[in-house]
Chain A
Amino acid sequence: MPLNPFFQHGSPDEQRLVQQLVDEQIKMFGLDCYYIPRKQIVTDDILGEVQSSKFNDNYIIEAYLNNYEGYAKGSDVMTKFGINLQNEITLTISRERFEDFIAPFQFNSTNLQGALDGDIDFGTRPKEGDLIWFPLGERLFEIKHVEHESPFFQLGKNYTYELECELYQLQDDIIDTNVAGIDERLSEEGYITTVNLAGIGSTAKASVDTFALNGALQKITLNDDGSGYTSAPLVSVSPSPAGVSTSLGAVVAITTTKGTLSSVDYVAITNPGFAYVEPPTIGFGTPGVGAAATSTLTNSGIASIRITQPGSNYVSPPIISIQHPQYVDKQYEFTGIATAGMMEIVGINTMANIAIGHTINFKSLGAVTLSGGGIVTSIGSSSIGIGTSIGGTGTVNTTFIGTGAMVGAKAGQIQATAVATLSGSSMFRIYLTDAGAGYEATPSISISAPLSVGLGTYHINERVVGSNSGTEAYVKKWDAANRKLEISINTGDFWPGEYITGTASSARYQVFSWGDDLSSQAAGSEFFMNDEFESAGDELLDFTETNPFGII
């Protein structure tokens, strides 16, 4: 039976009136919430899941809170995984307001790297999976159901959407709304890693203490690196004929590991000893077997190096460079007789190491005035002739003292080499790997500089990139005073020493240390115990093999 044509179930004008009344009610008794639409970045079509999402838009909309009496009791639940909050709210928003002011803007988005066109779902209604920022308590809710027919067709039309929401479960979704209050509040949520960035450091300094001991160890040559050296073995050196404790050479073995194999990498000298006539024999202790080495002696090498300033801010041992003997200035002192046109010097006993080609610079002694210098052109049995091409003036037939500088390499000169170890971020020790030979004067030592402080201010939610690792992450928080960068959603590990550059801010700092992403110092560490198990396990587990779950 047809409807009575004399009664109309809602004319467009009546429907319009009701909609306006609803809107007005919500504006009077509602709350301003932020509607944050989801952008689907990666979906798994087989398992039917959105694997990665981005939330970087926000729309303010008024909403009426249906459960004005608060959250349901028992919303905070203790679970196996820690405390889980299950707060729920139901909001009513105006259908017309949403369609007029939010839906038209949901047509464009910025895709993440690698996302393809068509990843984004469009719609003219609120969608399940979108987020609501609820200002009371500053909480982020996810829409789990949109009820579009309540109240049910008043005057033939529906005027509201009822959004059933629950607290959002965070994972690695990018939430960058550009609303400071929201972004700052969420900067404390999720799995966060703290990267310590380099501050102002100081370069370590060292100097050669003693050199040129007769019969001292120059170098230990490893003939067999052995196997099974899971820790550094004790290395013995046969005693020196001098028979005193300082004459006994001392060396230390440095081990290396590749996979499950451990062997001796090299043997460094901690005390070269002296008065050895024959190269001493080298013996290796446990835990490994098979290592063998021979030694070489020198009479003119480096004997000891003193650290004068340990420096700071080193993330890896600095590179030690010891001057080559050919570049080391030797200060000669000699007596001589200056003759016209030619400086002839006698008293060769004080100039035993001088050679043709060396430069001699004169210096005054007492009342004798001397300046300039010359190059040694010949060496006689009792005198050395010095050319006057550089010049040199003085009192003829006067005894004087001069100084000389050695120029050019001589046969048998070997550059000394050394390695450093760190204690914390400062230099701890310097080991000689080759004491060198042919040193006639104290060489200088140069040490590589530590990390330097960077520039700029990182922005919240900007993407940062590691210069060497290529690792990317999003900034959660930047503590400029302490140079601590909190990041999240990282694609891997950052390496100490590399630069982290902000893609938006261009801030650039060097990584000083990178904590494990679930270290006990990390934000939110009350929710996990990974590090605690690792350190407690180290004390009681005999992991001759490493933890298999961390190794590929």
Chain B
Amino acid sequence: MLGTYFYHEILRKTIIAFGTLFNDVHIKHDDRSGGTISETKVPLIYGPKQKFLAKLEQQEELTKATAITLPRMSFEMTSMNYDSSRKASVTRTFKAIDSRDPSNTKAKKVYLPVPYNVGFELNVMTKLNDDALQIVEQILPFFQPAFNVTIDLVESIGEKRDIPIVLENISFSDEYEGDFSTRRVLMYTFNFNAKTYLFGPVADSTEGLIKKVQVDYYADTNVQQAKREMRYTVTPDPITAGPEDDFGFSETTTMFGDSKKYSPTRQEDV
């Protein structure tokens, strides 16, 4: 029943979009005369990994001369919750043009998406408190409390949606107490919610792109007897324009005195 294969990679795209936000954070160390001692771009990683792969990649030589190099940032997806506040009708569909069709004529049909909140946890680990404060200050002002990114969620229909990424809360731990056998660990944790949408399968629509609208006017409400007397038609200008193009409209109004009616089945006046 649910066996139609589709995979829009929406959750993967949401992970990438989230990661892109934090991949260019820098910290600086200054000397006392105001000069810069170092400027470091803070490394970012998606935390979960296959353990063996991490071992092979990161500890290839087995005897690494030092421990982990700091500062670092890491994030991971932590939860997925249905968001009833953004619920839309379950039976409504919408159509879009197949963005991969060069002729711009093939229509696609898809049901309205299901709104989901995807939880993310961003962790910042630093050696110095000042480094952490620099990173935190570069992140917080952009979330009031949300920051919108526009993601091309379903490429086949060119469906771009604004996904608000909401900063829910921040916590940090600074384990500086205790005996001297343990190292101080400084870690800041940000919790975010990305308000994304999950789309179902995209089907080919038998209906094409509407390129002409025609309205007939009658002089009487009894359309069985009355004949159309005026016709208003609208077409895009130019007629070859696609949905993404910049186009106008051609409007035509025609008066009739020939006592005919339009037959939708024959698509002509009879």
Q: Using CB atoms, name the residue of chain B closest to A50.
A: B128
Measured CB to CB, the closest approach of chain A to B150, in angstroms, equals: 4
| A541 x B65 contact (CB < 8 A) | no
Interface centre among A49, A115, A140, A543, by most chain B C-beta atoms within 10 angstroms, is A49
Residues of chain B lying within 8 A (CB to CB) of residue A516? 41
Interface centre among A171, A524, A550, by most chain B C-beta atoms within 10 angstroms, is A171
**In the complex, what distance in Å separates the CA atom of A544 from the CA atom of B160?**
13
Residues of chain A lying within 8 A (CB to CB) of residue B150? 541-544
| B21 x A547 contact (CB < 8 A) | yes
**In the complex, what distance in Å separates the CA atom of A114 from the CA atom of B16?**
41
**In the complex, what distance in Å separates the CA atom of A114 from the CA atom of B70?**
24
- List residues of B (37-65) whose CB comes within 8 Å of A's CBs: 37-41, 43-47, 49, 51, 54-55, 57-59, 63-65
- List residues of A (180-209) whose CB comes within 8 Å of B's CBs: 185-186, 188-191
Q: Tell me, yes or no, whether A479 is within 8 Å of chain B by CB.
A: no
| B139 x A549 contact (CB < 8 A) | yes
Type the 1/0 row for B69-100, where 1 means its CB is closer than 8 Å to any CB of A. Answer: 11111101000000000000000000000000
Residues of chain A lying within 8 A (CB to CB) of residue B25? 549
| A527 x B24 contact (CB < 8 A) | no
- List residues of A (504-552) whose CB comes within 8 Å of B's CBs: 516-518, 524, 526-531, 533-534, 536-537, 539-544, 547-550
Q: Using CB atoms, name the residue of chain A closest to B26.
A: A550
| B65 x A81 contact (CB < 8 A) | no
Residues of chain B lying within 8 A (CB to CB) of residue A76? 55, 59
| A186 x B65 contact (CB < 8 A) | yes
- Chain B interface main SS type: mixed
Q: Tell me, yes or no, whether B253 is within 8 Å of chain A by CB.
A: no
**In the complex, what distance in Å separates the CA atom of A544 from the CA atom of B162?**
12
| B13 x A171 contact (CB < 8 A) | no
Type the 1/0 row for B126-149, where 1 means its CB is closer than 8 Å to any CB of A. Answer: 011110000000110010000101
**In the complex, what distance in Å separates the CA atom of A276 from the CA atom of B104?**
38
| B29 x A116 contact (CB < 8 A) | no
Q: Tell me, yes or no, whether A168 is within 8 Å of chain B by CB.
A: yes
Type the 1/0 row for A453-495, where 1 means its CB is closer than 8 Å to any CB of B. Answer: 0000000000000000000000000000000000001111000
| B181 x A144 contact (CB < 8 A) | yes
Task: Please pick, from B30, B46, B66, the residue contacting A170 in the complex, using a CB distance under 8 A.
Answer: B66
Q: Using CB atoms, name the residue of chain A closest to B63.
A: A137
Measured CB to CB, the closest approach of chain A to B42, in angstroms, equals: 8
Q: Tell me, yes or no, whether B209 is within 8 Å of chain A by CB.
A: no
| A42 x B31 contact (CB < 8 A) | yes
**In the complex, what distance in Å separates the CA atom of A44 from the CA atom of B132?**
14
Residues of chain A lying within 8 A (CB to CB) of residue B76? 80
| B37 x A527 contact (CB < 8 A) | no
| B21 x A529 contact (CB < 8 A) | no
| B43 x A530 contact (CB < 8 A) | yes
| B72 x A128 contact (CB < 8 A) | no
Known: A80-B123, A144-B183. A172 touches B40 (CB 8 A): yes
Residues of chain A lying within 8 A (CB to CB) of residue B216? none
Give chain A's interface residues, CB within 8 Å of chain B: 41-42, 44, 47, 49, 51-52, 76, 78-87, 112-116, 128, 137-140, 144-145, 164, 166-172, 185-186, 188-191, 286, 489-492, 516-518, 524, 526-531, 533-534, 536-537, 539-544, 547-550
* Given A540-B155, A547-B24: 18 more A-B contacts, CB < 8 Å: A42-B37, A47-B128, A76-B55, A87-B67, A114-B37, A170-B67, A171-B127, A186-B65, A186-B66, A188-B65, A491-B36, A518-B41, A530-B41, A536-B20, A542-B160, A543-B150, A547-B21, A548-B147
Q: Please list the 5 inter-chain residue pairs (A to B) with the smallest Cβ-Cβ separation, ordered nearest first.
A: A114-B31, A528-B43, A537-B20, A550-B24, A145-B180
Give chain B's interface residues, CB within 8 Å of chain A: 13, 16-17, 19-25, 29-41, 43-47, 49, 51, 54-55, 57-59, 63-74, 76, 123, 125, 127-130, 138-139, 142, 147, 149-152, 155, 160, 179-181, 183, 246
